[in-house]
């Protein structure tokens, strides 16, 4: 069984590498979000503050880290230069500056020592730190938007931005960044994780005095439901916080969330958009599976060997099921992982390729092939 899995991992990585190199050659000067008729769009360059803009250069760095293909490095650095404009449009940025810069500029600096990339990542870290509410011990997700005040809103996705702060503390020898990251992670464990290990997407806090005062269903089915991508953000986010802090509570939380996710996908290993939604219509979200797989593999590396198999095997099952059912390996098409879903309600953005689906699928296969450099 192990030999079969290793062969599949290597074959899948080979297909990824060929496809990314071809796609990169066709998409010079662009930062894609989704694909139309197999061709990437350019949403990121058109909206330079768009929260997913780090994932395409992140993909390029993942494949470069293994292949050494210089054209991928050049494309990734072009994206970094394009994204500089976002620093002059601060009103458009939110807490997702970690996802935007830490896996693009941050990886460039850690792989190559590029001083401009270091500065970019530190700019992003300071923007993120500036969103910290000292009374509520949380990082504000969004500003006022759509006519609704978001000053006290936190979302589980922010767990993936915390590695930027851990890195900034290590790089500058200033513990304040880590203090903020830990405070936010502690809040998320208390306010976003339910006793059964399921995850709330949005928690609303008193922004003047602290304390949770409400929740929203967010991109899931409803309040009290379990949006699968939010569950996946929690799995990966908490295990990353454990890796950076060695705080046992974060490992325990990651495992609890992982076990809920595994129970939710065991029927066919293809994640639905929400684990507590009506049986019909069947709405998948492949991005949730890719994110969760990355987190499950990191959990496997942090627990005793007798326990690791549970998490590693689940990750492989999800990835293999999605590779068989949801991946497009046509070299003339740009995107790889299909069937991503932005949110449960509304048909727009349902069952489409989304750039972070490709990113996390590629990162998970990267991990499976034995690569140990942690992009987060």
Quick: pLDDT tens for 230-277: 999 999 999 999 999 999 999 999 999 999 999 999 999 999 999 999
Asked whether the predicted pLDDT for residue 4 surpasses 80, the reply is: no
CB atoms within 10 A of CB 21: 18
| Closest by CA position to 101, among listed 60, 153, 51, 144 | 51
| Closest by CA position to 18, among listed 67, 58, 57 | 67
Quick: pLDDT tens for 92-102: 999 999 999 99
How does residue 202 score in pLDDT terms, banded at 50, 70 and 90?
A: very high
Q: In DSSP terms, which residues pair with 145 in a beta bridge?
A: 148
3-state secondary structure of 300: helix
Say what percent of the chain tops pLDDT 90. 95
CB atoms within 10 A of CB 14: 11
Contact between 241 and 184 (Cβ < 8 Å): no
Contacts of 339 (CB under 8 A, 6+ apart): 284, 285, 286, 322, 325, 326, 351, 352
Quick: pLDDT tens for 319-354: 999 999 999 999 999 999 999 999 999 999 999 999
How remote is the C-alpha of 46 from its chain's centroid?
22
Asked whether the predicted pLDDT for residue 135 surpasses 80, the reply is: yes
HSE-up of residue 359 (Cα within 13 Å, Cβ side)? 24
User: Hey, what domains does the chain have and what are their CATH numbers?
Assistant: 2-368 (1.50.10.10)
CA-CA-CA-CA torsion for 311, 316, 319, 323, nearest 10 degrees?
-170
Quick: pLDDT tens for 9-25: 999 999 999 999 999 99
Quick: pLDDT tens for 27-70: 999 999 999 999 999 999 999 999 999 999 999 999 999 999 99
Q: What is the mean pLDDT of residues 66-76?
A: 98
Handedness of CA 140, 363, 368, 374 (dihedral sign): negative
| Residues with active-site annotation | 96, 157
| CA distances, 343 to each of 173, 222, 284, 350 (Å) | 39, 11, 10, 7
3-state secondary structure of 327: strand
How does residue 3 score in pLDDT terms, banded at 50, 70 and 90?
A: confident
| Closest by CA position to 355, among listed 294, 273, 287, 297 | 287
pLDDT at 10: 97
Taking all residues of the chain, what is their mean pLDDT, rounded to a whole number? 96
The model scores a pTM over 0.75: yes
Lowest mean pLDDT among 4-13, 91-100, 137-146, 224-233: 137-146
């Amino acid at each position: 069984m192990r030999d079969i899995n290793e062969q599949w991992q290597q074959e899948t990585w080979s297909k990824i590498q060929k496809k990314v190199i071809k796609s990169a050659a066709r998409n010079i000067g662009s930062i894609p979000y989704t694909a139309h008729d197999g061709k990437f769009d350019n949403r990121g360059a058109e909206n330079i503050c768009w929260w997913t803009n780090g994932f395409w250069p992140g993909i390029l760095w993942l494949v470069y880290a293994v292949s050494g293909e210089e054209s991928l490095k050049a494309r990734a650095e072009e994206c970094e230069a394009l994204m500089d404009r976002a620093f002059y449009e601060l009103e458009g940025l939110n807490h997702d500056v970690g996802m935007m810069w830490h896996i693009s500029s941050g990886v460039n600096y850690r792989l190559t020592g590029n001083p401009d990339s270091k500065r970019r990542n530190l700019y992003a870290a300071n923007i993120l730190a500036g969103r910290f509410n000292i009374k509520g011990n949380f990082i504000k997700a969004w500003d006022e938007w759509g006519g609704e005040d978001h000053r006290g809103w936190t979302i589980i996705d922010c767990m993936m931005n915390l590695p930027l702060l851990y890195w900034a503390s290590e790089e500058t020898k200033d513990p304040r960044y880590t203090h903020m990251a830990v405070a936010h992670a502690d809040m998320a464990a208390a306010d976003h994780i339910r006793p059964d290990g399921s995850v709330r997407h949005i928690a609303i806090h008193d922004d003047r005095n602290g304390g949770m005062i409400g929740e929203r269903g967010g991109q899931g089915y409803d309040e009290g439901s379990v949006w699968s991508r939010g569950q996946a953000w929690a799995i990966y986010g908490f295990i990353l916080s454990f890796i950076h802090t060695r705080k046992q509570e974060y490992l325990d939380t990651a495992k609890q969330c992982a076990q809920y996710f595994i129970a939710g996908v065991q029927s066919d290993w293809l994640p639905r958009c929400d684990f507590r939604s009506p049986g019909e219509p069947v709405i998948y979200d492949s991005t949730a599976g890719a994110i969760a797989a990355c987190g499950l593999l990191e959990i496997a590396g942090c627990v005793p060997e007798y326990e690791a198999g549970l998490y590693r095997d689940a990750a492989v099952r999800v990835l293999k099921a999605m590779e068989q059912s949801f991946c497009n390996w046509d070299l003339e098409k740009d995107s790889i992982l299909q069937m991503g879903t932005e949110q449960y309600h509304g048909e727009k953005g349902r069952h489409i390729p989304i750039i972070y689906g490709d990113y996390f699928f590629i990162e998970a296969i990267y991990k499976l092939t034995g690569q140990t450099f942690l992009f987060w």
